[in-house]
Amino acid sequence: MKIASGPRPVVLMENVWIPLPDGTRLAAKIWLPEDAVSDPVPAIIDYIPYRKRDGTVQKDERIYPYFASHGYASIRLDIRGTGDSEGLFEDEYVKQEQDDAVDAIEWITRQSWCSGNVGMIGISWGGYSALQVAARRPKALKAIVTHCSADDRYADSGQYLGGCLLNDTLSWGTTLFVMMSQSPDPDIVGKESWHSMWMERLENARPTMIDWLNHQRRDDFWKHGSVCEDYGAIDCAVFAVGGWGDGLSNTVFRLLSNLNTPRKGLIGPWGHKYPHVGLPGPAIGFLQECLRWWDHWLKGKETGVMQEPMLRSWMLDSVDPAAHYDERPGHWVADPNWPSPHMSPRIYRMGLGRLSQQPLPEATLEISSPATVGIAGGEWCPYAMGGEGPEHPLDQRWDDGGSLIFDSELLTETTPILGAPIIELEITCDRPTAILAARLSDVNPSGEVTRVTYGLLNLSHRDGHEDVQPIEAGRSYRISLTMNEVGYTFPPGHRIRLSLSTTYWPIAFHAPERAKLTLQAEASHMHLPIRTSQPGDLDLRAFDAPEASAPMATTALKTGNVERFIQIDVVSGRVSLTVKRDDGSVRLDPIGTVVGHEKQMIYSVAGNDPSTARTEVYERFDRGRGAWQTTVQGRTVLTATKSDFCLQVDFDAFENGQRIFCKSWSEKIPRDLV
């Protein structure tokens, strides 16, 4: 990546206290053009809980000095009760968090270096923050860039998908709980204050995944912070960005479809990373694209950004299945709006093992999948762990053996799809609730099967995620399932495959009982969103090559490693998937802080008994410098009976190697048709 900067020298304000009306102070790190007081500039805010000084600092140093050198005040702001900010943390996306952001924006606009215009940017939590604060309409907020975020907290935030409980509830829930329990930095908050602040955090710490598990329907708990409840509340310009490899890519399409404000969309091949460092590649000059956006909306410059098509999408080419890709070949296309006028549905009918655009003979088909179907599904959200993580789906033949499969004829022409495939099925089911998993795959002539996209539906949520009703055994139901959006080109000579299963472990936790689903194939079909190639696709403006500010100086003290392996106990029939992530140990040279992180996830299930499903997560964070040496660690285990989820959480905190705090939680949470 090219190291670059703009024309204005930059000064760093290591810590600035932003006072709130209740007396709490938020800690901010601010990069400013050197002459900003005499020549005020717009402000760009990244508002997240991930520790500005020693958490996101390596990422921040590549982005925010770059923006500052091009005439922006770049502000990395720690949320209340996290990093070095005062107060106590509650949970993700609470009202207090939004209130604080509105107050902080008002304070920022009063500073002598601020021109009065403000933007927000963020990936993941920061992308949520930008959307949620935009819905509060602070007067100064003119534009946002939201990346890898969600407009609907129930539909796409990692806890539930299609009404199915995701194992990321435990994985992400453990990360959130342990990470937010870390100590503030004594050099920022004071050597006399840091320990009492930390102890207050530890005493207040609580695994909020308990609440997530207690809210299994789309109720007011999830509606809060979901901007889809009122898209009209957002009146600033929105640049929505995502990646096909990310778990949150659907948001881009919903925002473009439903917002009334000026908006743009960009979706590439990437996982949970900004596009200038995107994996799988190709990475693009994303920071330059952001500058075009900011210059237009915050400085009133004509950059041409709003004269270009609304949506730019990377159309993935066919590849063999692999756990990791450095690059995903493909090409860019552009659509003037979304839904696009370049789209047309193609209907495939279902028969015995077949997909066809022509009618097929009647067929009654049954499926009751083994508990291990889904073991080749990869991660719900590939985070692109430094380029090392084996996170993507494996060859789908692993899972197709326990699924109903429907194959098209050999394709005689290139078949590009862009959007969300939809299946409509006529089914009966023998249990009150069950999981329906649908996978769309590309079958190579040599036999390899690459997953293209997938979707899940808890069948008791067939009429929506609020009106939840059990299935009546023997009754026929018309079911619609929408898969995740995707852009993909099926080549001639390949086949399109639809696979249906009643499990998708370990992405989704098992239903209470093993279910048998009966399908009337002749009454079922699939809609594929075919995109017609356009002459203008060949003439699109090329993205610049990636560039960023100089990286922070660091010293690697311990090399990291990522492992992912599957074990089968042939005696008990228990199958385990283990993911071990060790980020190693790194010294942040300018401040001397040493940081380390380890995580392990074990998913296991025995035979065909869903009651044996078990998810275990262990996580540890180390932070230290000189006499300040801290560790926090947590272990969580989720099991279930037919009637209850059983959650065990154990937490410990250490100072200079000595345990100073420990606490455990043991919860039995009734299952609500999940």
The string of DSSP letters for 274-334 reads -GGG-SSB----HHHHHHHHHHHHHH----SGGGS-SEEEEEEPP----S--SB--EEEEE
Q: How far is it, in rounded angstroms, from Cα 126 to Cα 148?
A: 9
Stretch 279-293: mean pLDDT, rounded? Answer: 97
Stretch 603-616: mean pLDDT, rounded? Answer: 94
Structure-block tokens of residue 65: 């000095």
pLDDT > 70 fraction of the chain, expressed in percent and rounded: 99
Q: What is the pLDDT of residue 504?
A: 98
pLDDT > 90 fraction of the chain, expressed in percent and rounded: 98
pLDDT band at 389 (very low <50, low <70, confident <90, very high): confident
pLDDT reading at 121 higher than 90: yes
Residue among 251, 250, 292, 238 at smallest CA distance from 120: 238
Q: What is the pLDDT of residue 383?
A: 78
Q: How far is it, in rounded angstroms, from Cα 144 to Cα 125?
A: 14
pLDDT reading at 586 higher than 70: yes
Stretch 566-579: mean pLDDT, rounded? Answer: 95
Q: What is the pLDDT of residue 384?
A: 60
Residue 533 CA: distances (Å) to CA of 347, 348, 417, 489: 19, 21, 10, 11
Per-residue model confidence as pLDDT tens digits over 221-274: 999 999 999 999 999 999 999 999 999 999 999 999 999 999 999 999 999 999
How many residues does the structure list for the chain?
674
Q: What is the pLDDT of residue 248?
A: 94
Q: Dihedrals φ, ψ of 200, to 5°?
A: -65, -40
Q: Which range is least confidently modeled, 90-94, 116-120, 233-237, 386-390?
A: 386-390
Residue 180 CA: distances (Å) to CA of 90, 183, 652: 10, 9, 13
- Which CATH code, of 2.60.40.420, 3.30.1360.120, 2.60.40.10, 2.60.120.260, is assigned to 343-531? 2.60.120.260
What residues are paired with 120 via a beta bridge?
45, 144
Q: To 5 degrees, how large is the angle CA 346–CA 350–CA 355?
A: 60
Q: Dihedrals φ, ψ of 461, to 5°?
A: -100, 20
Per-residue model confidence as pLDDT tens digits over 462-473: 999 999 999 999
Residue among 587, 583, 614, 576 at smallest CA distance from 599: 583
Stretch 640-655: mean pLDDT, rounded? Answer: 98
pLDDT reading at 345 higher than 60: yes
Domain positions in the chain: 2-163+216-317+327-335, 343-531
**Residues 570, 554: contact at Cβ < 8 Å?**
no
Q: What is the pLDDT of residue 386?
A: 58
Stretch 159-176: mean pLDDT, rounded? Answer: 97
Structure-block tokens of residue 508: 């989704």
Q: What CATH architecture does domain 2-163+216-317+327-335 belong to?
A: 3-Layer(aba) Sandwich (3.40)
Is this prediction's pTM over 0.85?
yes
Per-residue model confidence as pLDDT tens digits over 66-95: 999 999 999 999 999 999 999 999 999 999
Asked if the peptide bond before residue 282 counts as cis, ω within 30 degrees of 0, the response is yes
Q: How far is it, in rounded angstroms, from Cα 329 to Cα 332?
A: 10
Q: What is the pLDDT of residue 453?
A: 98
pLDDT band at 409 (very low <50, low <70, confident <90, very high): very high
Strands 263-268 and 311-316: parallel
